[in-house]
Amino acid sequence: SFRSYVASVGFVREGRSKYDMRKVIHSIKVGIALVLVSLLYLVDPLYNEVGKNAMWAIMTVVVLFEFFAGATLSKGINRGIGTILGGALGCIAAVLAQQIGGVGNSVLVGISIFIFGAAATYSRLIPSIKIRYDYGSMIFILTFTLVVVSGLRAEQVMDVARQRLATIGMGFGICIFTSLLVFPNWASDELHVSMATKLEHVASSIEGCLEEYFMSGSDKEKQGSNSCKNCKSVLHSKSKDEMLANFARWEPWHGKFGFSYPWNKYLQIGENLRELAVTVVSLRSCLESPRQPTKDLREPMREPCRAVVSTLSWALNELRESIMKMKKFQGGPEVLPKLKAVRVELTLLTAQVGALQKDEELAVVSFV
């Protein structure tokens, strides 16, 4: 199990350096996208075409370019829809207001800004809309207000809106090109790998529990904190998982993930793993409590405990493998009888620790 510890450290370190590499690549990609979009200013023929509106393309690139491809796509689509909707409604409101003319014009513009602004802001506070369309609503408010007030000053609102939309489209195109086609960072890959890492973390901290419990006092504190930290990181992974799944849903077909890939299953697995992590953390605190059986009492439990833990961590690592290779997990029928047999053995040995181990098993049983 020392080997597995080294392996897990290796895995984490490899994961981290990969992640850092990805950060560097992402930064370079943003730099390239910025230079590309600046060409609209730098190259004379292009500038003569788009003029000052090139500003909107630059703004689009800076604001849209996110770390994960899915985030960029979702923001881009939100921005597009928000701009079109806001622009269309803004034009209608501006035209209507112009029909009235005079002071009534300004008053009507003010009222429409208040109503649409407040309504769209309220929609941003509704959780289901907030998760997916928050950015779109903001852009809607922005575009609507800008178009409706420019309607008062500029004669050709439609023309301004069309040009602005075109430059935003250019910015979006550059974002999509650099984000999705050149070394893409898929949120789906991240979510996929994070599940495997979580399984590994839980398995290693179950092993850590066992080793610590049967360890001879002195080295206890060193190792414990590490495996506990891993377990806690699993415990607090909910919001990150949800964010990744949200981005993953926006990402197009690529690699091993097909259309309508069941991202919700990942969230369910994550939920189960967090429950298992709860059990492991509380098992650990039970084992650390001051009222412990003496060493003589512990000794006979060592073998069955080891059997439980090795079966569990074997099962978890198999699950990890099967997730990574995207195969169905076959071990279920093998694991359950083994665990049940050891449970009976443990129950005979001692009531107290057995109760705790059983609980852990239960979680696994419900998990498999």
- For a copy of itself, the closer of residues 36 and 318 by Cβ is 36
DSSP state of 257: B
- For a copy of itself, the closer of residues 137 and 311 by Cβ is 137
CB of 115 to a copy of itself, least distance (A): 7
CB of 237 to a copy of itself, least distance (A): 10
- For a copy of itself, the closer of residues 26 and 201 by Cβ is 26
- For a copy of itself, the closer of residues 92 and 142 by Cβ is 142
**Which of 12, 61, 64, 73 is closest to 33 using CA atoms?**
61
- For a copy of itself, the closer of residues 317 and 346 by Cβ is 346
CB of 265 to a copy of itself, least distance (A): 19
Instruction: Give ∠ CA 262-266-124 in degrees, rounded to 5.
Output: 85
SS3 label, residue 254: strand
- For a copy of itself, the closer of residues 64 and 315 by Cβ is 64
Q: Which residues bind a copy of itself (CB under 8 A)?
A: 23-24, 26-28, 30-32, 34-35, 38, 41-42, 47, 54-55, 58-59, 62-63, 65, 67, 106, 109-110, 113-115, 117-119, 121-122, 125, 138, 141-142, 145-146, 149-150, 152-153, 235-236, 238-239, 275, 278-279, 281-283, 285-286, 289, 291, 351-352, 355-356, 358-359, 362-363
Residue 367 near residue 270 (C-beta atoms within 8 A): no
CB of 261 to a copy of itself, least distance (A): 25
End-to-end CA distance of the chain: 23
CB of 321 to a copy of itself, least distance (A): 27
Distance CA 124, CA 131 (A): 9
Type of residue at 352: Q
- CB burial readout 184-203, b (16+ within 10 A) else e: bbbbbbbbbebbbbbbbbbb
Residue 301 near residue 349 (C-beta atoms within 8 A): yes
Residue 94 near residue 146 (C-beta atoms within 8 A): no
CB of 139 to a copy of itself, least distance (A): 9
Residue 56 near residue 168 (C-beta atoms within 8 A): yes
